[in-house]
Structure 1
């Protein structure tokens, strides 16, 4: 049975037609995205940020016709926060979400939202961060040759957990060995309370608590739950001492490599996902305390005014007003009221 090359090609073409063009979609699916970008973050896969990021990635892929594929690497898979900051600057990763308090090592103004006991509630947070204060911080980030999206993602109000004692007032912090992120603002605040802060990247927090390198840590309830820190902590004091959020950063060269119409689609979906994630965190905070209580964490609600008074008398607010400068500080106080 002899078949010529021409006969085989004709048969192949006929089969494709007979299948109603089924071959074409298979070829399209096999094609590699024109822009395959990595998005690194330090949060567990179950955290609302990563849940919404998956939806965001799918929407971007659909709306760009498969040209952009945003691959998500959660839980510091590509390195610690400080490693990832180096990678976003060099182009090792294209996208990264980072707390402004840690980003402050590169952009000092980025930590201003974390000033201790400044924000009383979410309404005040969004007024500031979607308003003039947020715009000021974004302009400072841009000056550091990074691209930053308009909407900051929510990490939440931070609470204090401990394996040794509840925190009922400023004096309970004296000598307290607490893990803090790698950020001067955190270290400064807890030193003002006479605590003993230790800077540890988040991917090492669980083991540091488990091995008693530190007694406690501070994070929003959603992250305490997602990272299962209740397994190695006994008490949770609702100190609400800082509000923290994540700026969505992009490597400038990678961002500018995208055509203008593609950039619009990507930015729109990232910012929309940020707003949805904010709503998720607020709803989660309303239920997660009961879940954590059921898992054995003991809660207490201290009076917050003494903490703020202690920071004032220790010169914390005056010190940081001097570091941020009059313009940034006035924008903060415009939203939260007088601090220093």
Structure 2
């Protein structure tokens, strides 16, 4: 064998070895969320761990997941920008973050739209959620994978007990930068101040604002029960975690990787939802607030109707003003989907 031929074979073998090594390299998936990396308190983190487990076990570690909790990959907007750029492959967003990229999703926060978890799950998992995913992906390149941990908002403040809309008068509430949240508070006689989550505790503690609205488990994560005196169980909004990826990343997966990815998303959805409900009825329920010293009030059906009558028309008007026909169409489709699911569930 000639020297040149030997050299050629050596180079060829080296190239083949390198190519095979590259092809065999495990696929990394970066998953980012804003909650603490604590499975006991955070439904997002529990769901993330479920996702990681399925990805790594079903792929025999040919795919692996690195989880970045606690805004380690940036706040809402930064994380979504990284997701669009395929630097973060899976991102758990809030509606406040997602609406900065796809404005019609603001209309999801229509007050008192969802009566319970069962209806919310079926609406989100059904035709309404599928259409939302398709429309958002076409406009933004962000693909909605699922929603996981969801829960209902309560009102809390440091001024007085709130039993009817009249009691809201003059109280300042923290909101996300979501037009429907702002319109709802104003329709009830309160003032609305957008404040970042990271500044909320201090703002309540120092009296920059009087109150806020969030699900009780989210209040617990932020320690807000320590700086709030009165809580009203209005259940006026349904907050959920929005799991998104980029079209670029998803389309780069093989059929087998997509199958594993879908199984992992399903596991995250089940674990996240179950964890949120469990903590809401055990660790972070009404007893948790009362033990922290808060006075808790559950409005009657008549009192809740007063909140609905004031808030829903005002929010629909705000949605139309801010987003035009597209936003109003989204809100009406949501209400129709809720009505259809209720008819199917309770016939």
TM range (shorter): 0.7 to 0.9
TM-aligned CA deviation for residue 310 of structure 1: 0.9
Please point out which of 155, 164, 169 is paired with 1:169: 164
In structure 2, the residue corresponding to 1:117 is in which secondary structure? Answer: coil
1:47: how far off? 0.8
Instruction: Provide the C-alpha distance between the structure 2 equivalents of 1:307 and 1:323, rounded to a whole number of angstroms.
Output: 25
* Structure 1 position 196, deviation (Å): 1.6
Corresponding residue for 1:307? 307
Conservation of the 8 A alpha-carbon contact between 1:101 and 1:112: no
Deviations 1:164-190 (A, max 9, x none): 222211122222211111222212221
TM-score (norm: length of structure 1): 0.82
Say whether the 8 Å CA contact 1:132–1:331 is kept in structure 2: no
Q: How does 1:223-302 map to 2 (within 5 A)?
A: 223-287=218-282, 288=284, 289-302=286-299
**Cα RMSD, aligned residues only:** 2.2
Q: CA deviation at 1:102?
A: 3.4
Answering whether residue 315 of structure 2 is matched by residue 320 of structure 1, we say: no
1:203, CA displacement in angstroms?
2.3
1:47 aligns with 2:53: no
CA distance, structure 1, for counterparts of residue 142 and residue 265 of structure 2: 16
8 Å contact from structure 1 (residues 180, 199) kept in 2: yes
Distance (whole Å) between structure 2 residues aligned to residue 65 and residue 196 of structure 1: 53
Can you list the C-alpha shifts for 1:53-104, whole angstroms capped at 9, x where unaligned? 1132122112112122221122222221122222222233221111234312
- Is structure 2 residue 335 aligned with structure 1 residue 333? yes
Report the equivalent of 1:6. none
2:143 aligns to what SS in structure 1? strand
8 A Cα contact 2:180 2:318, kept in partner: no
2:183 touches 2:314 (CA, 8 Å); kept in 1? no
Aligned length in residues? 305
Larger helix percent:
2
Runs (4 or more) in structure 1 with deviation over 4 Å come to none
SS at match of 1:315: helix
The CA deviation string for residues 198-234 of structure 1, in whole angstroms up to 9 with x for no partner, is: 1122222222222222111111111112222111212
For structure 2, the residue ranges without an aligned partner over 5 or more in a row are 1-23, 341-347
Distance 1:141 1:189 in 2: 25
TM-score, normalization: structure 2? 0.81
- 2:144 is the counterpart of 1:148: yes
Contact kept in structure 1, 2:50 and 2:271, CA below 8 Å: no
